[in-house]
Structure 1
């Protein structure tokens, strides 16, 4: 009986896990009083361009009070009408889904995930990707392992230079079946794509969406401290690649040891069908691959040169899917027809519907806690203020390390790098002055805390979309990630202590 219960607990669906987190958030609203901050506009320069951002004004925190003047503990309602001021616990799903706008979480990210899923399913339905994978395996002839460090370094560079994140989703759809065909598993595929982008994002010397914003808010010269961060990036890359190579070798030797072995059967079955159907890598297949490559170049150009984000990138991949469908029809790839193009798009969107809904559910946690507006009295604001109180008065090295831990935990609630920077850095930067550490160290604590936990927190819509594309259950991913997270945490802690010791400025 106990064994069966333990198994059921271990295999809880992500929806259930987040539901209980929402329950915990709702309970907090009855225990933790609400508070708010004043805000101000600050300016900073990035590449000679002046940018502005609204941030918290440090030292302005105030509790909301009840009629007797005591800090207000105003628990959420069970159900809230649209006209109610307080959030409702049972409203978290809908309210979480419709949070934000077309360019951000949650509704924009949900739309992005569904469009990407549909567009790439059209590409997959042509059979071009499977044919290309089979051709690549034939060419490599036992040298498949070289793919791991090469792809990891490329994706890590993308994360470091232009904050690559959402763009990793379509690559996962290609790389995961490829590495499974080579004898590895979906975990390896996610590690050398999405995880690589987050390692690059974390250990970047120039990331415009985290380092630059955090340094601007902390009034530290933007893009400063590059030498230390480049050394940190090299170390993180070496450690991560070594970890993946050791794991990949173990899985190659015995695939049944993989936590993804059962879910990977979907890709193995698909590959077997492709072997039966594909006789050659035809001109039509080559044109679909060319369509894919040109789109990737277009996306990277758009992000770097034009500042494209979710709406534009989604439309770029939608265009790719349409062109792939037209090529498939003209060359009769995999018996492609107009109806099959439409059905493929629907099937692809349907496959990622679960991860898309998780994005909304994760935002539902923030909704229950009152939102992320610092000027509105919320429980989240009080948590932020309380954390700053815990850090003050500690020895400098410990203060810096606790900052890193706090940023890691806070990332569970606010996974947006720029959003977390706007909320935490106005408090952490002056707190660093009081603790006797440099503001550059405070930025480093934010940088490491914000990036590394993106690899495991179920509240990250991007992570859940990636796992959905890889057919991986979050609970299995989390089991694998525990050792890797401990390794990353230890490595990050060492860099925090070194930064304090050398007076990183």
Structure 2
């Protein structure tokens, strides 16, 4: 009998496996790259601890051992506890709106109102979230909205991923192309001793360019799924935390007074935490407290007992455990790099390597470096206080306007958040989208955004984009 060779089809590894591979790569790097550190000093202007240029020194090599690598997983879980529990409480509140029927009834009323203009609903939501990222620096705070908008995507005849793209892609694009983001632009400009939020006109132009690109990619995917649901990148993937109502069922639902009050509570909650974050600097602890209280208020409005609300929250939380573990696991990559003390070394050798380059090439290299650095430091403010004290003197040496250095940091920090596994693994976990499905849409978009960003930086160099 003639034997037939059977070729095994390649399957993308589990998200845990992908992140674990990056943890191992980070561990190997700690054995290859020398350990080094800059001195740091508290800066009153920014209220943060900054790198002191010219103080780099090599220290005793501290490569991460195999036991330390494994222990970094636990350390990452502990270090990411704030965002993990914020995710639990924000999801608990938002999914409660689905459980009590307020979301379904509200979407049904929206569909009836939009009639033949339903195709504009999701792009409008994406623009709203992008403006939140561009203006207020909101990013992680959007996680609680993901299941609601994903359910809306299904209700409007698309797929759950379309809703995730609208929220997470929209807010990432706005965050990267921000004009007055207090966590990136404000910190970087303060370090660069530039007038706060100066150069806003050019950055708003960049925002329009990037959002045009994003909306064209997003709407193209939406039209493809609408025409043939089997072409959905998440076809066959289960999303147990979403509303399962069909569009016809939603349209027929009665929009009761209790439902309206519940959605008004949701709107009031959003306004409260946006105001608190901007005016008083509220973050995860304060925002989580708001979500906890409002979750019970929504339950009471809809005649749920406290026991029923607690039971519902526990049931909802079961669907977020995967997200919680991914968030902690991805943080382990940063823990390994910090233990190996190689992040400062990478920054030092790169800054030295730019000397002698032309203005345009150096500016593009800054953009590339900031993109790479975001793999190691996925925090925007954390990246700013590490790299900008080095990039600002370097831009002066190369006679590049400091505003361009800020722009390179801003683009490099923002767009790679939706590609590097240290950041996008969290977004995949929040939305329930497998990382290979996530990359299928966002990898090409991130490539296009990088090309566009490079073109805009080249344009900024050509016009000597300055502080005004």
* TM > 0.5: yes
Distance in 2 separating the partners of 1:18 and 1:499: 36
| Residue 91 of structure 1, aligned match among 34, 59, 71 | 71
Partner of 2:122: 148
User: 1:270 aligns to what SS in structure 2?
Assistant: coil
The reply on whether 1:33 has 2:6 as its aligned counterpart is: no
User: Which of the residues 446, 452, 455 maps onto 1:491?
Assistant: 452
1:173 is matched with which residue: 120, 137, 147?
A: 147
Distance in 1, Cα, partners of 2:70 & 2:428: 26
Matches within 5 A, 1:164-203: 164-203=138-177
> What's the secondary structure of 1:59's corresponding residue?
coil
Aligned partners of 1:358 and 1:464 also within 8 Å: yes
Q: Distance in 1 between matches of 2:417 and 2:49?
A: 24
Cα displacement (A) at 1:124: 1.9
Q: Give the secondary-structure state (helix, strand or coil) at the position aligned to 1:241.
A: helix
* C-alpha distance in structure 2 between counterparts of 1:274 and 1:359, whole Å: 37
Q: Indicate the residue corresponding to 2:288 in structure 1.
A: 314
2:319 is aligned, of 351, 360, 377, to: 351
Count of residues in Structure 1 that have an aligned counterpart in Structure 2: 462
1:265/1:93 CA distance change after superposition, 3 Å: closer
**Cα distance in 2 for residues equivalent to 1:499 and 1:2:** 54
**2:452 is aligned with 1:501:** no
Alignment-derived partner of residue 421 in structure 1: 384
Identify if the C-alpha distance between structure 1 residues 37 and 430 changes in structure 2 by more than 3 Å, giving closer, same or farther: same
- Report SS of the residue matched to 2:400: coil
- Alignment gaps of 5+ in structure 2: none
Give me the whole-angstrom Cα distance separating, in 2, the residues matched to 1:278 and 1:318.
31
For 1:373-412, list aligned pairs within 5 A.
378-412=341-375
Match of 1:367 among 326, 335, 352: 335
Partner residue, 2:431: 470
Q: Secondary structure at the match of 2:245?
A: helix
Residue from 59, 65, 73 that aligns with 1:64: 59
| 1:251 equivalent in structure 2 | 225
8 Å CA contact 2:356, 2:398 repeated in 1: yes
Residues 288-327 of structure 1: pairs in structure 2 closer than 5 A? 288-327=262-301
Q: Is the 8 A contact 1:121 1:347 kept in 2?
A: no
Q: Is the 8 A contact 1:172 1:466 kept in 2?
A: no
Corresponding position of 1:85: none
Aligned-pair CA distance for 1:490: 0.9
Q: 1:265 to 1:501 in 2, by over 3 A?
A: same
Residue 10 of structure 2 aligns with which residue?
6
Give TM-score, length-normalised by structure 2.
0.93
5+ residue gaps, structure 1: 45-50, 66-71, 80-87, 100-105, 331-335, 372-376
Deviation for aligned residue 1:305? 2.2
Give the SS at the match of 2:140: coil
Distance 1:403 1:318 in 2: 42
1:75 aligns to what? 63
RMSD: 2.2
Whether the 8 Å CA contact 2:150–2:242 is kept in 1: the answer is: no
